[in-house]
Amino acid sequence: MARIIGGIGASHTPTIGFAFDRAGEDDPQWGSVFAAFKPAREWLQAQKPDVIVMVYNDHVTSFFFDHYSAFALGIGEQWAVADEGGGARDLPPIAGHGALARHIGRSMTAEEFDLSFFQDKALDHGCFSPLSMLCDHRPAWPAPIVPLQIGVLQAPTPSAKRCLKFGRALRRAIESFPDPDLRVAIVATGGLSHQVHGERSGFNNQEWDARLLEMVQNDPDRLAELTLAEYAGLGGYESAEVVMWLVMRGALSASVRCLHKSYTLPSMTGIATLVLENLASDPVAGELRRHQALMAEQGQGPELAGTYPFDLDRSVASYRISKFLHGLIQPARRKAFLADETAVLAAADLSPRERELISRRDWQGLIHYGVIFFLLEKLGAVVGVPNLAIYAAMRDQPLEDFLLTRQVPLSYSVAGKAEEETDA
């Protein structure tokens, strides 16, 4: 089993990244920010976790309101720094721990937390502002991360109680990961008191901030009873994002040891850090076995030959070629593909094997490689291969023979206008 060594709560205001990039520990304006993070940074340096789970929220940078999820888990292998309008910060990408992330995804889904999953998205200051203070990125970041993005900007948002429950399920997920040597730290970001919009902009409540820090450590269940409106009233509307700290706290033992706590208010946001040592005992008796059985339950049943479930592992493994095929829904891209397929494939970010699978129209090979059928369907629509021909190829049958197995021997593709009609 993997082990959670402790948790960190940290503010994520962009002023933290600004201070790191442009000031220094001795700067009279920003020195208190560096001082707040220094003990947390030293704790991570001493503990050397193998993975850091980063609980954060995006600020309408990589996650827009065309699809906005309550809980979105990053399952990819690398995470870049987002450009938030003024250019990306001069920080290198950080590796992801895909295996742990996908295990967490399976575990949380088994416990009826309906997550969305993301890859290939840059992470904004919600992640990298605190991370750059907590970890030295030169010559490389010290540990990979698992990013968990919580949708706290568009109401309705996850409640404090839901976040605490999520954290407790996250503990079971991490502890059931089959690597007994893996040491995991959880960093939750956001807060403290602040409001950045409307006539209440600039609101702070230092008394509430102090009480909140004490309650995260000693009374998280009482914090979980507060409504989001109460959080907004006490700390300012945007400060309600601090419910993300309850994910971290829920993943730790009932009793924790506080190793560090700090607070400063240099500008708009109360900036705090909190380091909690996990005092959890090892799982007892059949605890892990029962949880692993729960995770496996939905996959139990008859073994279906010739069937390839599209799961998180296949999604990550085939992401590059899948992204290329998905791009063919854009008229300009498919027009270029049809005009000079060889040149488009040569210029694409694809492996030689992936180029070969596409150029040979190896439908069965694409499925075996990990591509989901509905992207094959799009390629077929572009190059004029009907769905029934693809189905026949799956079974190594001529189309004519396959049609004899259907009640009506018709042929079709995904519906749409002819390209000349679309361009008119």
Tell me, what CATH number does 133's domain have? 3.40.830.10
Same-domain pairing of 120 and 191: yes
Q: Does residue 421 have a pLDDT over 60?
A: no
Q: Does residue 415 have a pLDDT over 80?
A: no
305 in a structural domain? no
Same-domain pairing of 275 and 318: no
26 pLDDT band, cuts 50/70/90, is confident
Same-domain pairing of 334 and 291: no
Same-domain pairing of 292 and 320: no
Average pLDDT, the chain: 95
User: What is the pLDDT averaged over residues 237-256?
Assistant: 97
User: What is the pLDDT averaged over residues 329-335?
Assistant: 96
Same-domain pairing of 356 and 400: yes
Give the structural domain span for 320: 312-423
307 in a structural domain? no
306 in a structural domain? no
424 pLDDT band, cuts 50/70/90, is very low
391 in a structural domain? yes
In three state form, how does the secondary structure of the chain look?
A: CCEEEEEEEECCCHHHHHHHHHCCCCCCCCHHHHHHHHHHHHHHHHHCCCEEEEEECCCCCCCCCCCCCCEEEECCCEECECCCCCCCCCCCCEEECHHHHHHHHHHHHHCCCCCEEECCCCECHHHHHHHHHHCCCCCCCCCCEEEEEECCCCCCCCCHHHHHHHHHHHHHHHHCCCCCCCEEEEEEECCCCCCCCCCCCCCCCHHHHHHHHHHHHHCHHHHHCCCHHHHHHHHCHHHHHHHHHHHHHHCCCCCEEEEEEEEECCCCCCEEEEEEEECCCCCCCCHHHHHHHHHHHHHCCCCCCCCCCCCHHHHHHCHHHHHHHHHHHCHHHHHHHHHCHHHHHHHCCCCHHHHHHHHCCCHHHHHHHCCCHHHHHHHHHHHCCCHHHHHHHHCCCCHHHHHCCCCCCCCCCCCCCCHHHHHC
Same-domain pairing of 279 and 316: no
422 pLDDT band, cuts 50/70/90, is very low
Q: Does residue 355 have a pLDDT over 80?
A: yes
423 pLDDT band, cuts 50/70/90, is very low
Same-domain pairing of 286 and 353: no
User: What is the pLDDT averaged over residues 73-88?
Assistant: 97
User: What is the pLDDT averaged over residues 266-292?
Assistant: 93
Domain closes at, from 267, 299, 331? 299
Domain closes at, from 231, 264, 299? 299
Residues annotated as catalytic are 125, 194
Q: What is the pTM of this model?
A: 0.94
Same-domain pairing of 94 and 242: yes
Q: Does residue 255 have a pLDDT over 70?
A: yes
Range of lowest pLDDT (217-231, 311-325, 401-415): 401-415
Q: Model confidence over 142-167: pLDDT tens digits? A: 999 999 999 999 999 999 999 999 99
71 in a structural domain? yes
Q: Does residue 264 have a pLDDT over 70?
A: yes
Total domains in the chain come to 2
Q: Does residue 418 have a pLDDT over 90?
A: no
Tell me, what CATH number does 361's domain have? 1.10.700.10
